[in-house]
Amino acid sequence: MLLMCLGQVQAAETEKADSQAAIALLEKALAYYHDNGDKAFAAFSRQGEFVDQDRYVFVVDTKGVMLASGGPSAALIGRDVSDVLGPDLQKAFKDALKVPEGNGIQQAEYRWQNWSDGKVERKHVYYQRVGQRILAVGYYLPRASAEQAMALLNKAAADLAKDEKGTLKAINSLKGGYLQDDLYVFVVDLDTRRYVAHGTNLRLINTDFSKINDPDGKPVGEPMLALIAKQDYGEYEYRWKNPVTGKVENKHAYLKKVGHFLVAVGYYSP
């Protein structure tokens, strides 16, 4: 009983410390935005003073378009991220636009699904409206696990087998839960050898996957295509930029053939 009580006290203290750190980071961002306006977005989107451990600043406008982010959503700047935010956060942000700005920092809970076990956790976000902008502090898990990557691959493969057109559209439009922190799905048409879906970078759509190299010029696409030509499942390791950390890291990809498609999801390690 005593151990249980101590555990509850420690959990409460940790939660309080996390809340204080999140509020402090948001206050810092608000002050910087007050002095610099939209020019502050560049600073918010760098891996620097507005990233604190697993906390980062992000900014969305009234239409749900991501304007700045120091977290995994940095790859989504300029795109409508309403579906990524989820219904809880969407409602909280819409409600924030209905109240006077003088109400100060608000808070909301949102649901986050762990792909490895399917469980839904509740997380906190702190935010404040400034004109037509919402500045917020979010949390991310910097590195997804192998189990999470495999779970997402299996989900994407099963969905693609049932509904090709709908699944490809969902991946490209950030719907359906195919993007989580540094985990994302990409799909290549094996007949054309070109990308048909990518979870973070739409500029790659229709580009020749066989010509894709790592930052050092080492082939990435061709070896994956050669591997999946011999078997329906495979794994491949290469170097790639992590959308969360912004650094080139080791990436372990799981590959699966679904009809005439190559579906892939990978996880990073430093």
Q: Are the CB atoms for 30 and 24 separated by under 8 Å?
A: no
Assign residue 229 the CATH number of its domain.
Answer: 3.30.450.20
- For residues 20 and 77, membership in a common domain is answered with yes
Domain that holds residue 117: 2-139
User: Tens place of pLDDT for every residue, the chain, 270 residues?
Assistant: 554 444 444 545 666 788 899 999 999 999 999 999 999 999 999 878 898 877 889 999 888 899 999 877 777 889 888 777 777 777 877 777 776 777 788 888 766 555 445 555 666 789 999 988 999 997 665 567 899 899 999 999 999 999 999 999 999 988 888 887 778 999 999 999 999 999 988 899 999 999 999 999 999 999 999 999 999 999 999 999 877 667 788 999 999 999 999 999 999 887
3-state class percentages of the chain: helix first, strand second, coil last, to nearest 5:
40, 30, 30
Tell which of 90, 105, 139 closes a domain.
139
Mark out the alpha helices in the chain (DSSP H runs): 2-36, 40-44, 82-96, 146-162, 164-172, 221-230
Amino acid found at 17 = A
For the whole prediction, is pTM greater than 0.85? no
Number of domains forming the structure of the chain: 2
Q: How far apart are the C-alpha atoms of 240 and 256, rounded to whole Å?
A: 19
Tell which of 113, 139, 165 closes a domain.
139
Place of tokens 């495999």: 150
- For residues 169 and 264, membership in a common domain is answered with yes
